[in-house]
Copies of this chain bind each other. A is one copy, B any other.
């Protein structure tokens, strides 16, 4: 994974609402959740949520699919795994006395 992608993903997750959205989608699994459902659960305006969904989508952390009148979003687990791999590889290399969980 390139540094730029990693920064983009980290930035996408570095915001309370978006992190909450992503956790909801992780919990929901591949079935995902409708945008409106997420807005209600998280208590934010539809426009606001849409903005955040786009942000997460641009970072490739989630994907949306049209399902009738709804748009269902689901976490992209492969991307998240790639991010974790990047972080353990690039930010955890040194063998310190503290030990390294990676």
Stretch at the interface among A19-27, A35-43, A46-54, A65-73: A19-27
Total copies of this chain within the assembly: 2
Residues of chain A in range 1-49 having any CB-CB distance to chain B below 8 Å: 3-4, 6-7, 10-11, 13-16, 19, 22-23, 26-30
Give every chain B residue within 8 A of A88 (Cβ-Cβ).
84
Interface size counted on chain A using CB atoms at 8 A: 41
Contact surface of A with B, Cβ cutoff 8 Å:
3-4, 6-7, 10-11, 13-16, 19, 22-23, 26-30, 75, 77-78, 80-81, 83-85, 87-88, 90-102
18 contacts between A and B (CB under 8 A): A6-B19, A7-B16, A10-B11, A10-B14, A13-B14, A14-B14, A23-B91, A26-B90, A26-B91, A30-B97, A77-B94, A77-B99, A78-B98, A81-B98, A81-B100, A81-B101, A84-B84, A84-B102
